[in-house]
Structures are given as structure tokens and as C-alpha cells.
Structure 1
Amino acid sequence: MFFPKLAIIITALALVPLIFINESDSAEVTPFASQKVNLSVYYASLSQPCATFIVKNLEEIFHSDLINILNLQLVPWANAYVDKTNHSIICQNGPDECELNSLEACALNVLDDVNKHYALIYCFEFLAIEGRHKNWQDCFSQLDLPLEPILSCYNRGNGTELGQKYINETTLFYTPHEFLPWVVVNNQSIGKEYENFTRYVCEAYKGIPAPAACNRR
């Protein structure tokens, strides 16, 4: 059974090159790259709070003009660590989480469009919420996305290599993350206010005009 918004994502991805973006909204805001706000989400793939945030909260940016002012960075493998004895990666929620983290890392690096890799990760995380994450291959047919490039990346171990990179990046925080998801706006954590990330993005944006999503707040 599909989550209703996942059905919207699937339909939009099939019909247009850039999903979630309304054409009239897109015309309103065309910021220079230097004006865009950096929104980074550090998460673990089988963490229920992370899955809920990605599925319920983060999709807001794709159903408004907010995506036009953002550089969105999704960073899996948070809370994972490298075993110093054998250099393997240990995930908080076990091997299944490491597998899904690897697949999502590959999606982020193989798929060349933020709309596509978000849609795929959305699908994975929705399955995680329902306890059906082992059915992750279904997402490719549902979204009409190619499985082979992601599977090739995963089978070569590239997802795990990327995991080590993400773990290293996470350890460089000026303030160590205390929980997940850990949401950062322009290199500043917003802590427990992560569900209100739109407010912080809008406050950080210096371009003119402001997106309609900011004016509604």
C-alpha cells in the first residue's frame, strides 16, 4: 500500500524533469548560487525519528518554492562508527541499517538530480517506517528509476566507502550531534527545532524576493 504523498512523488517524477516544483513558484525566486541557504540533514536510515522527518517534514520543501533557495544535503550514516579492530562500520540499528545507509549513499552519489535521490530515499524511509525496509528494491519500479547503477555502486562497496567519508564529516561538527535527525542550516545546528527548519531557512535567506513559503510563516 502506498503512502498518499509517495503516490504524488511517483506521478510527478514520471511526468516532469524537475518534480515537486510548481512552475509559477519557480519563476518567483531565482537566487544566485551564493545566496542559497545550505540545509544539511544528518540521519540514520532505520531511525524512526529520521524516517518520519524525511517523509513527513522534509517533503515540504518540494511542494513549495523553498527548494529554489536551498542547497539540500542529505547525510546518512549518522551514529555509525568505524571499528578500530577490523575497520568495519558498525551501525546503531544493526546490519540492515548499514545496508540501507549504503544504498542511500549510492543514490545520493549516482543519481544526478536532487528530486530523484530524494524521491528514492523518501521511498526507502517510508518502508522503514512500516517495517518493510527489506523490500527496498520495490522503490525502483515504483519510481521508474534504474536499479543497476545503485546496485553496482553498492556491490563494489562504494556505499561503505562513502559511509566512512560521512562518518568523518559528522565527527568534525563544532558541536557534536546529540540526537537524530541533526539538522544544520548554514553550518549552524538548529537542535530540537529541526521540525521548524523552514523558519531558520527563511531567516538565513538574504535574497530578494523571499519565497512564498517564507511569506506564509
Structure 2
Amino acid sequence: MASSSSNKLVFLAFLLLFVFSNNLVAGKPQKVKLNLYYESLCPYSQKFINDDLVKLFESDLHRITDLKLVPFGNAKVSDNLTVTCQHGEEECKLNAIGACAIKTWPNPKMHYWFIRCVEKDTKNWESSCFKTYGGEKAIRDCYSGDLSKKYLILGYAKQTLNLMPKKEYVPWVTVNGKPLYENYEDFVAQMCKAYQGKAPLPKVCNSSASAKKKVLKLQVSYGEDFHH
């Protein structure tokens, strides 16, 4: 009899724990997937990273966002797996540095700021970004080895080249897998619209909805024959 009572108590405890856990999960914000496919020396990608994407972390929007940066852009991969970048070897290097930063700091809140630092000054980034954010040894080891070129970049190449619908230009921004096309600069409003979580909307969504809609001028970099 005592054993039966104990079993019932254990069962009830597990039941209560299950219900409580479900309530906690239900209260958490459901993340909206925001993907940015970019290349390091594209001026339009730089502008989006520096001036637009920063809104994610300067507001409370980041709490409902699953951000993914994909540094490949309009690069091409030959049959022997050689990568050629639209803006030359330096862009290939900076794409790989970005990939290594993502590998070093998987948390977007950390690797975004380093990548933004690089994109703000692509000529002198080494003297400032490592000093500000650290990670020099890990990133240099990643870049100088085979990891960045044979695995990370080719992985990002596969993700970019297999997009459906296909990427038309960079920056290419998707929300939950759907491209924003010419509305990519208005990604905050699109993120707020896509959010389906039970937690309250981020405060920035209220200000975004009340703001006047601006006329967007499409600024992109096309990849055909490596011309803008």
C-alpha cells in the first residue's frame, strides 16, 4: 500500500512538472528566423550591416530573433572547389574572417559586433576590432588553417546557392525563409509582423508600426558576371 501511494506521488510530481514546463515554454517568445546573405566588400551589404541590422541589438527586437549571417554573397565555386569572390581576394579573406568570427562566437550578439567592426573599416579592421572584441588567436588560427576555406565557406556557399527562391542580389534578407526583396531595409516591421509568440511584442514593434513608412530606394549588388 505504501509503495502504491509513493508511486502516485511520484506520478503527480512528474505531471505537475510537465504542466509547469509547458507553461514556461509557452511564455517564451517564439523566435523569428532572420537570415542575411552578404559579401564583405559589397557597399550595400556594408550599409545594411552597419546602419540597419544594428537596430536589432539597439532595441529589444533581438529577444524574438534567431539571426543568421551567411558570408558568401555573389561568390562562385569552381569544379575544383576554388572560391572566387565578386570583389577579389580581399573579399574572400574578409568573408572567411566573418565565418571564423561566427565559429568563434556562435552567439549572434557577440559575432555581429565584431563583423560590424570589420565592415565599418575593411582596411584597418585588424588594428581595432581585435583590440576591442578579442578573439584574435582563435580567428587567425581558423583563417590560416583549412577550416575557414574548406568547410565554413563551402558550407555557406551551399546554403546560398541552394536558396529557394534563388538569391537575386546582395544583401539578400529572408524572414522565416521568405525573401524580403526590395523591402529588406524595412526588416523590423517584417519581423514584428512575422512574430507568432505568446510573449508581448518587442517595444520597437509599436514604434515601427506608428512610424511613417519611408520610400525605399533599392540598393543591391548583382552577381551576374561580377558586375554591379
What's the TM-score, normalizing by structure 1? 0.79
Please list every run of 5 or more consecutive structure 1 residues that lacks an aligned counterpart in the other structure. Answer: 1-29, 128-132
Deviation string, structure 1 residues 42-68 (Cα, Å, up to 9, x no partner): 000000000000000000010110000
Instruction: For residue 137 of structure 1, give the secondary structure of its aligned residue in structure 2.
Output: helix
Question: CA–CA distance in 2 between the matches of 1:76 and 1:110?
Answer: 15
Deviation string, structure 1 residues 80-122 (Cα, Å, up to 9, x no partner): 11112x4210001100000000000000011143222111100
Is the Cα contact below 8 Å between 1:44 and 1:77 reproduced in 2? yes
Structure 1 counterpart of 2:87:
93
The yes-or-no answer on 1:191 pairing with 2:181 is yes
Alignment of 1:26-105 (within 5 A): 32=28, 35-84=30-79, 86-105=80-99
Please list every run of 5 or more consecutive structure 2 residues that lacks an aligned counterpart in the other structure. Answer: 1-25, 209-228
The yes-or-no answer on 1:108 pairing with 2:99 is no
Is the Cα contact below 8 Å between 2:104 and 2:135 reproduced in 1? no
Structure 2 counterpart of 1:134:
123
Q: CA deviation at 1:31?
A: 5.8
Instruction: For residue 42 of structure 1, give the secondary structure of its aligned residue in structure 2.
Output: strand
Question: CA–CA distance in 2 between the matches of 1:140 and 1:126?
Answer: 10
Indicate the structure (1 or 2) with the bigger Cα radius of gyration. Answer: 2
Is the Cα contact below 8 Å between 1:43 and 1:182 reproduced in 2? yes
Moved over 6 A (4+): none
